[in-house]
Structure 1
């Protein structure tokens, strides 16, 4: 992977830069490094998966809210497609991996939600309820595109014998990378429609970028929670 991917979005690249040290703290977290070199304790990974299952449910709800907040059919279609992918593909992967470890879907549904999970998912939902489509997309973007960046990097750098290859391949895979490209394009068009062709010159851009930065900080907290290995 040459350079850091921007997924076709100059706006995303600007948000990422504005996030400052929070972005590398997220994408280069010790949890991520452990996925790559295989040193992440299995207990921590399974705890993360159980919490991420809960997270993805709320994340799907937030993307469903994006359908409501959308102002064009294109925005609504992509948001609806993301909901479908989260509920019917990504969450199913978690069920499959946990099932192989003896953790049933009923156990995932009964898992207590960690405070870091509560903070992150409710922050994103509030961004959509109190703001517009762009506020919501800025809060959703760190998860989608950050995982795409992490997946691509680990695909090239991970140890050959890491037990987390299936996870890495999911986020480095063509389907997920295509989603990242579509979300990058959505960020571009949605920003241009609301802030014009020079969004960084508008008074609102800094506030939108701060939505992105805060969600990135919450991603760091989510990794911290996963590494801790318990609620």
Structure 2
């Protein structure tokens, strides 16, 4: 028996998971047909999301009670704040979005709902509760990237001439896939330490399952938010 809780969590909300990783936003992005204003709105809101995502990983360091867990959380916070945020700003500039403009935006309700839910799971629960709520984003984007990569051969994803190719390459790439695998490994270790090697036999299984499913549905809500974009300023306009 393995303590890899992720396959069990995903299977327990299979319909929600499929709605997330194969959402219309994802499929149109892969096809290169996603409206530009939807992608720009997504990028702007994702900047705000990353701020709170960093806060959630900082909370993980507080919730951790072992040095290896703390090191992983702190390293992730450092990578998010000092690397990924900079890459996001640089990439968004190519779409006419400045960091100042994105930082000044109000958070969309779907963004607030998702980020605060994750933080609440962390504050009200332990490290495992928090990591399970973070898993749909970290591991889900890796699955989406892998699906897009596989879609080259089947025609489900168009790479040549796709305006979103750089985004696709980032999440399909080896570096991000390794990040997601590392987080999955962390969740496995944390689950083993806190609930043993059979996650579904634990008295906490129901709560963890429901927390994962809720976070997955909030990811769906984030895509839906992106498909109803609001006007955004362009750099230099």
1:45 is aligned to 2:39:
yes
Q: Any conservation in 1 of the 2:128–2:191 contact (CA below 8 Å)?
A: yes
1:111 is aligned to 2:98:
no
Displacement, 1:10? 2.9
Displacement, 1:182? 0.7
Partner Cα separation in structure 2 for residue 101 and residue 182 of structure 1: 31
**Paired residue for 1:59, among 50, 53, 56?**
53
Q: Which runs of 5+ in 1 are unaligned?
A: 1-7
1:125-175 Cα distance to aligned partner (Å, 9 max, x none): 000101000110010000000000001111231202211111011111111
Aligned length: 224
Which range moves more in the overlay, 59-68 or 10-19? Answer: 10-19
Q: Any conservation in 2 of the 1:95–1:104 contact (CA below 8 Å)?
A: yes
Q: Provide the alpha-carbon RMSD of the alignment.
A: 1.4
Q: What's 2:183 paired with?
A: 183
Displacement, 1:84? 1.8
Q: Any conservation in 2 of the 1:53–1:94 contact (CA below 8 Å)?
A: yes
Name the SS for the 2:70 alignment partner: helix
5 Å matches for 1:209-224? 209-224=209-224
1:102-138 Cα distance to aligned partner (Å, 9 max, x none): 3211001101100000000000000010100011001
Displacement, 1:223? 0.2
**Paired residue for 1:100, among 80, 94, 98?**
94
Larger radius of gyration: 2
Displacement, 1:71? 1.4
Partner Cα separation in structure 2 for residue 91 and residue 36 of structure 1: 23
Q: Any conservation in 2 of the 1:9–1:185 contact (CA below 8 Å)?
A: no
Displacement, 1:20? 2.6
1:53-95 Cα distance to aligned partner (Å, 9 max, x none): 0001000000000000001111111111211222222222221
Name the SS for the 1:162 alignment partner: coil
Partner Cα separation in structure 1 for residue 90 and residue 9 of structure 2: 34
Q: Tell me the TM-score normalized by structure 1.
A: 0.93
Displacement, 1:9? 7.1
Q: Which runs of 5+ in 2 are unaligned?
A: 152-156, 232-237
Partner Cα separation in structure 2 for residue 151 and residue 66 of structure 1: 25
Moved over 3 A (4+): none
